[in-house]
């Protein structure tokens, strides 16, 4: 994973600025850990069918099958993360791990 982005992401997750949510990158002012990553890299959020999805440089960076739940291949490449890692982090988030626990995992293992 890109070291600069990782550092910024871990800092953002630990900042207390973001309220944690489940099942969506961003919904009702709450974020999945991956939604926080989208913010860290400068994504802008737009509504699509009652969900918010991330755009970067005017292009959708959410996953094509469900852009409100996962980030897509272009953003994964940009940050240096594998799809399997993303799934693991999303599961950690949705299974009740706190942003602190997730940031510790990212800091030690990515």
pTM of the predicted protein model:
0.96
Residue count (the chain): 110
Domain tally, the chain: 1
Task: Give the span between the Cα atoms of 107 and 73, in whole angstroms.
Answer: 22
- Contacts of 106 by beta carbon, 8 Å cutoff, 6+ apart: 1, 6, 9, 10, 13, 89
Asked whether the CA dihedral 12, 54, 96, 77 is positive or negative, the reply is: negative
Which pLDDT value is given to residue 55? 94
pLDDT in tens, the chain (110 residues): 999 999 999 999 999 999 999 999 999 999 999 999 999 999 999 998 778 999 998 999 988 888 999 999 999 999 999 999 999 999 999 999 999 999 999 999 99
Domain that holds residue 51: 3-109
Sign of CA dihedral 56, 89, 85, 101: positive
């Amino acid at each position: 994973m890109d070291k600069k982005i990782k550092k910024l992401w871990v800092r953002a997750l630990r900042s207390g600025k973001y309220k944690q949510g489940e099942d969506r990158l961003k919904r009702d002012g709450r974020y999945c850990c991956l939604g926080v990553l989208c913010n860290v890299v400068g994504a802008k959020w737009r509504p699509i069918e009652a969900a918010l999805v991330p755009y970067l440089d005017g292009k959708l960076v959410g996953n094509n099958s469900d852009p409100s739940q996962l980030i897509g291949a272009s953003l994964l490449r940009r940050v240096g993360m594998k799809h399997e890692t993303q799934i693991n982090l999303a599961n950690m988030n949705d299974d009740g791990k706190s942003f602190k626990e997730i940031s510790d995992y990212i800091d030690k293992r990515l």
